[in-house]
């Protein structure tokens, strides 16, 4: 069934929609009676984001249009907006129990109005990043995506871990922002303009300019923080562990996706002439990142911290793909993030469910296989998808990432990455070991799933299986990225 596409001048609708939705959420929080406030805000944010997803599906993907001089909407940007909006929707759904007594073992979160507004602002920032045509917009978008995260990671007021996480995050984040700005200034110096096209022209004219290289060096260091590339990853485990679980999920998926697409935009946009020079650096960073992430994950006991290391290693694979040729690399990147988000959110949902009455540790998973076979089977699918095992979508995602690097002839590096993902299989199997094999010390508490959680998990499970079976998704992404 082919739905009619919306007219092209509505391409900016998702971004405007996010702004409107943010205001509506805040207004609802202020005006609604206390009794309904929580439900109203969640419902509004959830339905609003769902509408935006539908709008994004209906927009035309073959138009390239620039709004108000500096806001470019392409099919590629729309794909990423889909990732961000879907991810925000998942976070909203994931966060529901964390406001209600009995929903979590940790401290409850309050101020749901601000919480949802911050998530929306953050998502808007990410949407701005993918629509940027100059460094200034890029910077504004990036900051808009990051600053709400500082607040969100400190959301468990009075919780030591959360406070520690936020403090570390702010210090590290500001440092990275500073580095990035410093890098921009060099790029500006080299090109005489902040606009991508002028930078591209300058880079083409003189690809060996030291100013450019210096600029890229700092930008890379700055983005390294966002993308948790080693050696800029130190903050991630602490922040992931300390932040509330839904925020951790948002950090692991949306924030990382922003970092990846930021790098992709620069590498395949204004800095394309230098791409070949940068490849060795990217390969080295990728190799270190995946290894450190994988080795770090081996010893973890806390599930959120575990997911931090797991996502660090994933950043390594993602970086590997960025050495590839534009079309395949971008296709791989979009597809990977969509399926990676599905698998990651599945794990986070399960973490939040087992975390109802226990700390969110590995031991909380014990007895899951015997007492909640469906939940355990879902976890198994998610773990295999994250490890990149067929026939799940994660496999196709990783296959595309590896293919992008293999196309350039980096077979040794692909072999290294593939063997590395064997290490990652080890710790994903540890999840299954806890869920299926290790016997619980005491009778595990009965877990209750409400309808929303069941539906979300069912949809996410489909998201882990269908993209690998139905070729349409890859094909569609490939067509859009080929433009």
Q: Give yes or no for a contact between 186 and 211, defined as CB atoms under 8 angstroms apart.
A: yes
Nearer of residues 121 and 465 to another protein, judged by Cβ: 465
Nearer of residues 210 and 373 to another protein, judged by Cβ: 373
3-state secondary structure of 73: strand
Q: Rounded to 5 degrees, what angle do the CA atoms 438, 439, 443 make?
A: 140
- The distance of closest approach from Cβ of residue 281 to another protein in the complex, given in angstroms and rounded to an integer, is 22
Take residue 323 and report the two structure tokens written for it: 């050495």
Q: Could you tell me the CA-to-CA distances from 347 to 250, 385, 454 in Å, in that order? A: 13, 11, 13
Nearer of residues 39 and 422 to another protein, judged by Cβ: 422
- The distance of closest approach from Cβ of residue 28 to another protein in the complex, given in angstroms and rounded to an integer, is 42
- The distance of closest approach from Cβ of residue 471 to another protein in the complex, given in angstroms and rounded to an integer, is 5
Distance in angstroms (rounded) separating the CA atoms of residues 128 and 145? 9
Distance in angstroms (rounded) separating the CA atoms of residues 475 and 145? 30
Nearer of residues 124 and 464 to another protein, judged by Cβ: 464
Distance in angstroms (rounded) separating the CA atoms of residues 469 and 393? 8
**Which residues form the interface with another protein (CB under 8 A)?**
331, 369-370, 373, 380, 384, 389-391, 395, 399-400, 402-403, 406-407, 409, 411, 414-415, 418-419, 421-422, 425-426, 429, 432-433, 436-437, 471, 474-475, 478
3-state secondary structure of 342: helix
Q: Give yes or no for a contact between 12 and 72, defined as CB atoms under 8 angstroms apart.
A: no
- The distance of closest approach from Cβ of residue 482 to another protein in the complex, given in angstroms and rounded to an integer, is 9
Q: Give yes or no for a contact between 122 and 149, defined as CB atoms under 8 angstroms apart.
A: yes
- The distance of closest approach from Cβ of residue 218 to another protein in the complex, given in angstroms and rounded to an integer, is 34
Q: Give yes or no for a contact between 1 and 58, defined as CB atoms under 8 angstroms apart.
A: no
- The distance of closest approach from Cβ of residue 433 to another protein in the complex, given in angstroms and rounded to an integer, is 6
* Cα distance from N-terminal residue to C-terminal residue, the chain: 24
Take residue 205 and report the two structure tokens written for it: 């004219």
Take residue 193 and report the two structure tokens written for it: 């303009």
Nearer of residues 8 and 423 to another protein, judged by Cβ: 423
Nearer of residues 319 and 400 to another protein, judged by Cβ: 400
Nearer of residues 222 and 467 to another protein, judged by Cβ: 467
- The distance of closest approach from Cβ of residue 423 to another protein in the complex, given in angstroms and rounded to an integer, is 8
Nearer of residues 221 and 480 to another protein, judged by Cβ: 480
Nearer of residues 156 and 376 to another protein, judged by Cβ: 376
DSSP H or E stretch at residue 391: none
3-state secondary structure of 165: helix
- The distance of closest approach from Cβ of residue 409 to another protein in the complex, given in angstroms and rounded to an integer, is 7
**What are the residues whose beta carbons fall under 8 Å from the beta carbon of 56, sequence distance 6 or more?**
14, 78, 81, 82, 85
Task: Identify the CA nearest to 248 among candidates 290, 292, 294, 311.
Answer: 311
Nearer of residues 48 and 467 to another protein, judged by Cβ: 467
HEC string of 140-156 equals HHHHHHHHHHHHHHCCC
Take residue 91 and report the two structure tokens written for it: 């976070």
- The distance of closest approach from Cβ of residue 430 to another protein in the complex, given in angstroms and rounded to an integer, is 9
- The distance of closest approach from Cβ of residue 439 to another protein in the complex, given in angstroms and rounded to an integer, is 11
């Amino acid at each position: 069934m082919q739905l009619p596409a919306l007219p092209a001048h509505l391409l900016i609708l998702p971004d405007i929609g996010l702004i409107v939705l943010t205001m509506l959420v805040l207004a609802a929080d202020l005006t609604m009676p206390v009794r309904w406030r929580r439900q109203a805000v969640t419902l509004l944010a959830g339905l609003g984001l769902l509408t935006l997803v539908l709008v994004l599906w209906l927009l035309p993907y073959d138009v390239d249009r620039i709004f108000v001089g500096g806001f470019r909407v392409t099919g590629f940007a729309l794909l990423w907006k889909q990732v961000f909006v879907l991810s925000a929707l998942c976070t909203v759904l994931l966060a529901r129990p964390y406001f209600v007594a009995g929903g979590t073992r940790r401290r409850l979160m309050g101020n749901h109005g601000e919480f949802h507004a911050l998530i929306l602002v953050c998502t808007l920032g990410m949407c701005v990043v993918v629509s940027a045509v100059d460094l200034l917009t890029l910077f504004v978008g990036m900051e808009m995506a990051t600053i709400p995260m500082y607040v969100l990671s400190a959301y468990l007021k009075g919780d030591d871990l959360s406070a520690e996480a936020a403090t570390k995050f702010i210090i590290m984040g500001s440092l990275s922002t500073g580095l990035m700005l410093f890098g921009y200034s060099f790029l500006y110096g080299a090109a005489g303009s902040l606009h991508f096209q002028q930078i591209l022209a300058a880079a083409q004219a003189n690809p060996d300019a030291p100013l450019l290289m210096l600029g890229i060096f700092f930008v890379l260091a700055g983005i390294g923080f966002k993308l948790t590339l080693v050696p800029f990853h130190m903050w991630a485990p602490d922040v992931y562990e300390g932040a509330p679980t839904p925020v951790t999920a948002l950090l692991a998926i949306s924030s990382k996706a922003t970092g990846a697409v930021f790098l992709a935009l620069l590498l395949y946009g204004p800095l394309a002439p230098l791409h070949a020079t940068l490849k060795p650096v990217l390969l080295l960073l990728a190799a270190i990142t995946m290894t450190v992430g994988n080795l770090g994950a081996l010893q973890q006991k806390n599930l959120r911290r575990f997911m931090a290391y797991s996502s660090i290693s994933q950043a390594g694979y993602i970086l590997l793909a960025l050495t590839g040729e534009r079309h395949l690399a971008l296709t791989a990147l979009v597809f990977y993030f969509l399926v990676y988000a599905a698998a990651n959110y599945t794990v986070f949902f399960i973490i939040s469910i087992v975390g109802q009455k226990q700390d969110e540790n590995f031991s909380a998973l014990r007895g899951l296989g015997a007492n909640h076979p469906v939940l355990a089977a879902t976890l198994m699918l998610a773990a295999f998808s994250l490890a990149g095992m067929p026939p799940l979508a994660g496999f196709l995602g990783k296959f595309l990432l590896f293919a992008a690097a293999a196309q350039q002839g980096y077979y040794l590096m692909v072999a290294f990455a593939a063997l590395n993902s064997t290490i990652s299989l080890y710790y994903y199997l540890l999840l299954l070991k806890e869920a299926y094999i290790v016997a619980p010390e005491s009778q595990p508490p009965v877990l209750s799933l409400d309808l929303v959680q069941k539906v979300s998990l069912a949809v996410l499970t489909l998201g882990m299986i269908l993209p690998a079976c139905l070729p349409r998704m890859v094909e569609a992404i490939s067509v859009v990225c080929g433009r």
